[in-house]
């Protein structure tokens, strides 16, 4: 869709993308082991919530979407990049509940590590892949093209595909995708009925006990903090959670542990390992309470060792300039490739999904390089 928008005194002929526009191979820029998405124009659509009603259009955006300064929203309303029910409105416009609100913006997606999404196994109605750490499974939040689903469509022409389970963004390993909605429903019914067994491996701090350990404590997830806690004193608080752990190997400093979650709570394996006193050895979110003197700087060696064994995409841009994409005069992220707050320097967790099995099927993923203790 083409629209003309006036911004910063200039008239620009812009092609706006919507979720209907599929990712393309040429949408990606690879630099120094990082996968970037070329910034693109995108229409975000939402419908006014009850709590938004009665606010001016500028106050609404300034209060609810704090990632950009108020001055940007004033300019966006004036230029028509923010609209209500498809119409340009004044800054003083009062929003009513359920109205359609469109925000046309220059979208910068966060970067991820530039590892291949390796296809492990294909069947007529099932696909399994080796998901790299740092890559979300499906479009969510600021991510759309820099996702497993987006990359598979852009680089392998695989669409539609339906992830039948989730892996957190920083977790690597086996991901099962159905090629049809009916096959996805088949797997989900087995998951909901408890017929599926899940196995992960983790590299943890210390010498993990030789005998099987079972963490059977409730978990409470705080969405605001993005962190889970175990609930020991108040057993009725939080959600029931159970994980079984078995030591695979140890070198006296760290251990490789097989993790078998019986339930599926947010950050379950991570917080249960912390509860047992053996957090994942590079998990900054749950490590600090157990190893208080571990510094951020100390993770430089960990980052060097965090390679999963997947192939790194070669650079396709040798120039650090901004010639790879058009600069938008109104954009608060330009001329940088990533959005503000993302420097591209993050590691994957030492937590990896190795196996899913059901009543009559099993899918597996190779171990990452970090699973070998020396």
Residues known to be catalytic: 168
112 burial class (0-12, 13-18, 19+ CB within 10 angstroms)?
buried
Residue 352 β-bridge partners: 172, 201
Q: Which helix (H) or strand (E) holds 102?
A: strand 100-107
Alpha carbons 138 and 146: distance in angstroms, whole number: 9
71 burial class (0-12, 13-18, 19+ CB within 10 angstroms)?
exposed
Long-range pairs, 147-150, Cβ under 8 A, ≥24: 148/117, 148/175, 149/177, 150/23
Torsion of CA 75, 76, 81, 84, to 10 degrees: -120
Q: Are 259 and 269 in contact (CB under 8 A)?
A: yes
Half-sphere exposure of 72 (CA within 13 A, CB side): 18
Q: Are 354 and 256 in contact (CB under 8 A)?
A: no
Sign of CA dihedral 17, 24, 149, 219: negative
């Amino acid at each position: 869709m083409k629209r003309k928008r006036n911004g910063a005194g200039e008239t620009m002929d812009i092609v706006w993308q919507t979720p209907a526009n599929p990712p393309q191979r040429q949408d990606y820029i690879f630099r120094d082991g990082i996968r970037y998405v070329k910034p693109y124009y995108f229409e975000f659509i939402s419908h006014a919530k009850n709590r938004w009603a009665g606010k001016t259009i500028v106050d609404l955006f300034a209060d609810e979407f704090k990632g950009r300064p108020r001055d940007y929203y004033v300019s966006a309303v004036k230029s028509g990049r923010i609209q209500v029910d498809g119409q340009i409105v004044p800054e003083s416009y009062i929003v009513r509940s359920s109205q359609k609100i469109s925000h046309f913006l220059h979208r910068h997606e966060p970067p991820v590590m530039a590892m291949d999404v390796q296809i492990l196994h294909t069947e007529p109605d099932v696909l399994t892949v080796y998901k790299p750490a740092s890559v979300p499974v499906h479009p969510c939040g600021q991510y759309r093209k820099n996702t497993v689903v987006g990359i598979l469509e852009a680089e392998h022409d695989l669409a539609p595909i339906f992830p039948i389970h989730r892996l957190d963004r920083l977790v690597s390993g086996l991901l099962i995708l159905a090629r049809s909605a009916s096959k996805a429903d088949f797997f989900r019914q087995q998951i909901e009925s408890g017929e599926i067994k899940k196995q992960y491996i983790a590299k943890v701090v210390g010498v993990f006990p030789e005998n099987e350990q079972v963490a059977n404590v409730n978990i409470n997830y705080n969405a605001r903090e993005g962190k889970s806690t175990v609930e020991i004193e108040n057993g009725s608080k939080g959600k029931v959670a159970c994980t079984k752990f078995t030591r695979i190997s140890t070198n006296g400093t760290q251990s490789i542990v097989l993790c078998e979650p019986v339930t599926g709570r947010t950050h379950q394996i991570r917080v249960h390992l912390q509860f047992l006193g053996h957090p994942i050895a590079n998990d900054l979110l749950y490590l600090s309470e157990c190893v208080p003197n571990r510094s951020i700087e100390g993770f430089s060696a960990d980052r060097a060792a965090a390679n999963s064994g997947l192939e790194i995409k070669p650079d396709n841009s040798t120039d650090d300039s901004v010639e790879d994409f058009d600069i938008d005069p109104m954009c608060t992220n330009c001329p940088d490739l990533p959005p503000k707050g993302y420097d591209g320097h993050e590691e994957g967790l030492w937590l990896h999904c190795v196996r899913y099995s059901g009543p009559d099927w099993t899918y597996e993923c190779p171990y990452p390089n970090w699973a070998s203790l020396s």
